[in-house]
Amino acid sequence: MSPYHNVCTKCQETNKKSMSRNIRFIQAAISVVESTRISPYSCKYSKKTFTQHQLLILILFKDYRNQHYREFVEDVGDMERIQENLDLSIVPHFTTLQKFLRRIKSLYLRLIFKKTVDLFYTIDDVIPITAIDSSGFTSGYCSHYFSERTGKIRKHFLKTSISVDTDEGVITGYLVSNGRVHDTRHAEKLLRQCHKIRKSDCYVMDKGYDSEDIHRLIRDDLHANSVIPIRCWNNEIISGKYRQEMARQFNTIIYPRRQIVENKFSVLKRKFSGDLKARIFLIQMKEIAGKMIVCNIHRHLQFFILNVFYRAEKRGEQHIIAV
């Protein structure tokens, strides 16, 4: 057998695995989007060439593949099985997807995100530990030519905070702001948001979130525990009931779980890109929402694959015992 034949066989196997992953993602995305009960068409006068569901799933699939619009549409044109799963008679032009992202309401993306969180829990489930942290997604406005001429790279950062279930690795909430916002201001809104979606027994954050108001919100309003290290300079007197409690009884066992949220940011940026394509803030927010949705669906598929392997191993053990 020639080396060329071996290379071709390996390429075919890789393509099959890739297509299998793509189809699993499409099927999971269809299930999530349809469960939101978003209307198939934006209005009764719509051309009805494509449904909102089809365009939404294609945008999520683009983020999953981490591609630009033109390249993505060309690739989907060659994927007959993807077109069959989405019931597409034709592949939309890349500008159709861009215009749809501008037009779709952010509320719809919030609904879809909430449905991805629901994939991992039953109604009464409470998360043991939730970690919160922030990072930035970049948007470069200038061309490569401008950068080379001036020797400068103009980049704009959108501050994004997320909350993550440290057991399941699921993003349970996110908040985006255009500009510099202190961590504590972000945390107040995010805590209420993620606690409303899925309650947690404990919230872990780094010392950038050290504030008596944050402790009070978690302990008194959300009825949960808080683990946040104290910022203290030059033997400064620690103020606040809960901050003093942190200084006396800091939980060194729970606090390292905070690293899970940093790992999640790393996965988001490496796998689904930390760069934003849009220039308008509202569309950039939608891009980030899409990344959060895709990351949760990806996590759900990882659990699905693990369950398949676990069941296969169990069947193998039972067969050996029977023999």
| Domain 124-307: CATH architecture, name and number where available | 2-Layer Sandwich (3.30)
Quote the pTM value: 0.87
**What is the rounded distance in angstroms from the CA atom of residue 234 to the CA atom of residue 248?**
18
Question: Which residue's structure tokens are 């780094």?
Answer: 206
Q: CB count, 10 Å around CB of 170?
A: 23
- pLDDT by position in tens, the chain (length 323): 555 444 445 445 556 667 889 999 999 999 999 999 899 888 888 888 999 999 999 999 999 999 999 999 999 999 999 999 999 999 999 999 999 999 999 999 999 999 999 999 988 899 999 999 999 898 765 544 455 556 655 567 899 999 999 999 999 999 999 877 888 888 999 999 999 999 999 999 999 999 999 999 999 999 999 999 988 776 676 788 888 888 888 999 999 999 999 999 999 999 999 889 888 899 999 999 999 999 999 999 998 777 655 444 544 544 444 44
Dihedral (C-alpha) 210, 213, 215, 220: value to the nearest 10 degrees? Answer: 180
For the four alpha carbons of 220, 222, 226 and 228, in that order, the dihedral sign comes to negative
Per-residue confidence (pLDDT) for residue 165, from 0 to 100: 97
Q: CB count, 10 Å around CB of 40?
A: 12
Tokens of 195: 């606690």
**What is the rounded distance in angstroms from the CA atom of residue 265 to the CA atom of residue 271?**
10
**What is the rounded distance in angstroms from the CA atom of residue 86 to the CA atom of residue 40?**
13
For the four alpha carbons of 79, 80, 82 and 86, in that order, the dihedral sign comes to positive
CB 308 within 8 A of CB 127: no
Per-residue confidence (pLDDT) for residue 70, from 0 to 100: 94
Per-residue confidence (pLDDT) for residue 1, from 0 to 100: 52
Which phi and psi (to 5°) does residue 224 adopt? -130, 175
**What is the rounded distance in angstroms from the CA atom of residue 213 to the CA atom of residue 215?**
5
Domain definitions of the chain by residue range = 3-104, 124-307
**What is the rounded distance in angstroms from the CA atom of residue 133 to the CA atom of residue 271?**
19
Shortest CA distance to 58 belongs to which of 83, 89, 38?
Answer: 83
